[in-house]
Structure 1
Amino acid sequence: MADPTCVIIGGGPAGMTLGLLLARAGVQVSVLERHGDFLRDFRGDTVHPSTQRLIDELGLGRRFAELPHSRLHQVDWPVGGDQTVVLADFHRLREPHPYITMVPQWDLLNLLAEEARQEPSFTLRMDTEVTGFIHEAGRVQGVRYRTQDGTTGELRATLTVACDGRWSIAHTDERMRPREFPVPMDAWWFRLPRTPWDAAALTPHAAPGRIAVVIPRAGYLQIAYLAAKGTDARLRAAGIEQFRQDVAAIMPELADRVDALASMDDVKHLDVRLNRLRRWHTDGLLCIGDAAHAMSPVGGVGINLAVQDAVAAATLLAAPLRRGTVTPADLATVRARRLLPTIAVQTLQRLMHRALITPTLAGRRAGPPKLVLALLRRFPRLSFAPAYLIGVGLRSEHAPPFARRGSRGLAGAGTGRTP
């Protein structure tokens, strides 16, 4: 395995985006992914308007549109009968794609990998787990790895970028321990059959002690079930029949299909974390995406922030990497650029935890405060603000000039399968 200029740990959205962009800048880059493929269910599948704009700028719009997908144009909250209040209206965004596209993450990652492989300076190594860092002369000089067949080795690089998520190997360094924020809930993910009569909007439901969010997907409904943190063992001990009853009680319109859940093995638990590194780098090592800031699932913004981090990192570091010298000051510019958007989103998520999730899970309320719903009903234009914060965010990144390619069709064009 030839030594690259940059080695990226993790082939998720941040890692694959950064790898593609740096390769287009002519940087020798290797992405190491410990799995043999990208096929993992219930990963973040939301592609937000700002990310879709980036996909267009990279010349991948038409190919992205051909992936199986569905589109979310708004977030509705039921208020009784057939009435709803629009919490976030993406139609109001002045973006080329004013909607969130739900696309299987493995399809998006395969698209980025296929495109990156067209660049002679890019290498993707699957079934390759990073086991540690090479420390020499007071800096990180690369990584140690182990392949699926047990082969071990070292890969030296000018820069190592950790894109390996909330349990990043970079966190083993005392200087890179994240600051944890309290989180009131965990999430459980599962699928239910979809019918032609199901709503096409993302629709939350709330009852004392639990919240469920229905996400319409191409061919099925993806459900996020939120309950108090630390209750996974109790839910599983109660068994699938009790869980079906809980789901039917909070979403009566889906009661006729909860039998699709054969056992609790069909219900996947997510240990929700919300944290942020105080510093995102040491000499020779940078963390971005969830490795730098784990996000709550509220708003589904994790992928968008990770991709935006990757774009900023590629824009700021491509030139130093081509020169072969990346200083700690260079790495600090990435955090300086991405810290405000990260803090803004995490602050919004913490407010949502406090105002909506904690009171609901504690049984004090079933949904948003009545005043908020009344204001949104009376002044629908207020739904622009949450739509913008979720769909675009602060300091939205554009593809750097070296990574742009001629238009191959817009991300909203093509023959993608939508509801």
Structure 2
Amino acid sequence: MVHVSRTTVAIVGGGPAGVVLGLLLARAGVAVRVVERHDDFNRDFRGDTVHASTIRLLDELGLGERFRALPQSRLDDVSLPRADGSTVLLGDFSRLRPPYDHVAMVPQWDLLAMLVDAARQEPSFSIVMGQAASDLVVENGVVAGVHLHQRRGGGEHEELRADLVVACDGRGSVLRAAAGMRPQSFPVPFDTWWFRVPRRPGDAETALVPAFDGRDVVLSFPRPDYHQVAYFAPKGSDAQLRAAGIEAFRARIARVRPDFADRVDTIASMDDVHVLDVRMDRLSRWWQPGFLCIGDAAHAMSPAGGVGINLAVQDAVATAAVLGPALVGGVRGRALDHALAAVERRRKPPAAIVQGAQRVLHRVVFERAFAGRLQDGPPAVPAFLAEHVPPVRGLYARGIAFGPLPEHAPAWARRPAPARS
């Protein structure tokens, strides 16, 4: 038996892009339903870097105080190590205007829970957890809805009809594949292995400094109670690392980060080390009649720079700014197609710029590291400019904090900050 339901916009994927888009469209008065295939948001090693562009957006939405109350740590600068053990300060966030002078490290499940709670205050918003999309409903060449089913319990099939379906279901997007849309892929030289080690008193790290030893690369992100750590190795190394075993892996980490040597034994087994098959790709066209891809479904990003969440959020803001008034005004058909094309025109260039910067970073840092050439120190020209022309450190910091074409919340979506009691 097929249950048929109806909404104006069906958003598949309850990550940052999907939830922010749902919140904003609901504030425009658009009936929206977000569908998330997992039962909750509690999953480790998702992107947790919240950049200044997103913090500013939360302030504009009246959610800044709630965001700052979440457990979080902050990154105040970005540096690269020299061969002699010193560092070069590349991005100095203190040169940015407060309160947008840092990158916040916030567990993604806390951020999503806060956003969903705010969205539920809007009568036209709904979210369903534990429901997966399997295919698109297509009529006369136009996407008219999405086929859904419960992931657990063998629930009945649901056909959710909508004027617009938005795929926010990540880099392995089921709906993108169902629409026959294939992204162009770009080579990535590494995969990433994520794990955590305890944070100890005195670990006052607020800077993002990668550590190198020979061909090994380690990057850590401070959290209130632990360090989230990424180990980078050439793509396809997972089987070799796991065959070598946990003791060899611990030794690698301790060699690169001697300050972690007293705690690597908390990595109990290779089951505690989670591999990310890093991909970078981008759709040449983000939409079809009745259907739109944004976020990772439109452009999978490398973890280099930690920009994935923030670029996806910016996509959502631009999408809502273009589509919210149009959908409230009853725009359908060819006029809606023009609006979807406008979203693509606005957001494809910043995605391409960021991916271009990531590909440069791959070449000058990671490929050099895997070739054993980082002992010569960081890339000469960027390091020289950062060291000898101080304003350049502010430019680098602004590029990291805000990225190209940061979006502002539409006026109709803004709310004043709650009054202090």
Q: Tell me the TM-score normalised to structure 1 length.
A: 0.94
- In structure 2, the residue matched to 1:71 is 74
CA 342–161 in structure 1, closer or farther in 2 if over 3 Å, else same: same
Q: CA deviation at 1:253?
A: 1.9
CA-based RMSD: 1.7
Tell me which of 200, 210, 216 is aligned to 2:216: 210
Tell me which of 274, 282, 304 is aligned to 1:276: 282
| Gap runs ≥5 in structure 1 | 415-419
Q: Does 1:399 align with 2:404?
A: no
Q: Give per-residue Cα distances to partners, 1:213-241, cap 9 Å, x unaligned.
A: 12111111111111100111111111100
Q: Give per-residue Cα distances to partners, 1:282-314, cap 9 Å, x unaligned.
A: 110000000000000010000000000000000
After superposing the two structures, state which structure 1 stretch, 200-209 or 150-159, moved more.
Answer: 200-209
CA distance in structure 2 between the partners assigned to 1:136 and 1:75 by the alignment: 50
Q: Does 1:103 align with 2:106?
A: yes
Q: Does 1:382 align with 2:388?
A: no
CA distance in structure 2 between the partners assigned to 1:235 and 1:304 by the alignment: 31
- In structure 1, the residue matched to 2:348 is 339
Q: Give per-residue Cα distances to partners, 1:250-270, cap 9 Å, x unaligned.
A: 111221211111101111111
- In structure 1, the residue matched to 2:300 is 294
Q: Does 1:359 align with 2:359?
A: no
CA distance in structure 2 between the partners assigned to 1:342 and 1:260 by the alignment: 38
SS at match of 1:290: helix
The aligned amino acid for 1:378 is H
CA distance in structure 2 between the partners assigned to 1:229 and 1:385 by the alignment: 32
Q: Does 1:349 align with 2:355?
A: no
- In structure 2, the residue matched to 1:18 is 21
After superposing the two structures, state which structure 1 stretch, 62-71 or 380-389, moved more.
Answer: 380-389
Q: Does 1:50 align with 2:56?
A: no
**Percent identical across equivalent pairs?**
53
Q: Does 1:373 align with 2:383?
A: yes
- In structure 2, the residue matched to 1:7 is 10
SS at match of 2:351: helix
Q: CA deviation at 1:369?
A: 2.1
CA distance in structure 2 between the partners assigned to 1:386 and 1:132 by the alignment: 42
The aligned amino acid for 1:379 is V
CA distance in structure 1 between the partners assigned to 2:211 and 2:117 by the alignment: 39
Q: Tell me the TM-score normalised to structure 2 length.
A: 0.94
SS at match of 2:29: coil
Could you tell me whether the CA contact under 8 Å between 2:176 and 2:293 is conserved in 1? Answer: no
Q: CA deviation at 1:95?
A: 5.2
After superposing the two structures, state which structure 1 stretch, 243-252 or 400-409, moved more.
Answer: 400-409
Matched ranges for 1:305-316 at <5 A: 305-316=311-322
SS at match of 1:155: strand
Could you tell me whether the CA contact under 8 Å between 1:9 and 1:161 is conserved in 2? Answer: yes
CA distance in structure 2 between the partners assigned to 1:396 and 1:145 by the alignment: 34
Could you tell me whether the CA contact under 8 Å between 1:5 and 1:324 is conserved in 2? Answer: no
SS at match of 1:183: coil
Matched ranges for 1:124-143 at <5 A: 124-143=127-146
Could you tell me whether the CA contact under 8 Å between 1:8 and 1:19 is conserved in 2? Answer: yes
Could you tell me whether the CA contact under 8 Å between 1:209 and 1:228 is conserved in 2? Answer: no
Q: CA deviation at 1:370?
A: 4.0
Q: Does 1:251 align with 2:257?
A: yes
SS at match of 2:207: coil
Write out the 4+ residue segments of structure 1 that deviate beyond 4 Å after TM superposition. none
- In structure 2, the residue matched to 1:178 is 183
CA distance in structure 2 between the partners assigned to 1:264 and 1:159 by the alignment: 43
Q: CA deviation at 1:80?
A: 5.7
Q: CA deviation at 1:338?
A: 0.8
SS at match of 2:222: strand
- In structure 2, the residue matched to 1:417 is none
Could you tell me whether the CA contact under 8 Å between 1:187 and 1:269 is conserved in 2? Answer: yes
Q: CA deviation at 1:329?
A: 1.3
Q: CA deviation at 1:90?
A: 1.4
Could you tell me whether the CA contact under 8 Å between 2:136 and 2:179 is conserved in 1? Answer: no
CA distance in structure 1 between the partners assigned to 2:343 and 2:94 by the alignment: 31
CA distance in structure 2 between the partners assigned to 1:409 and 1:222 by the alignment: 35
The aligned amino acid for 2:386 is L
Could you tell me whether the CA contact under 8 Å between 1:345 and 1:389 is conserved in 2? Answer: no
CA distance in structure 1 between the partners assigned to 2:361 and 2:83 by the alignment: 22
SS at match of 1:101: strand
- In structure 1, the residue matched to 2:233 is 227
CA distance in structure 1 between the partners assigned to 2:179 and 2:378 by the alignment: 39
Equivalences, count: 411
CA 357–305 in structure 1, closer or farther in 2 if over 3 Å, else same: same
Tell me which of 187, 190, 193 is aligned to 2:195: 190
Q: CA deviation at 1:244?
A: 0.6
Q: CA deviation at 1:81?
A: 6.4
CA distance in structure 1 between the partners assigned to 2:190 and 2:37 by the alignment: 29
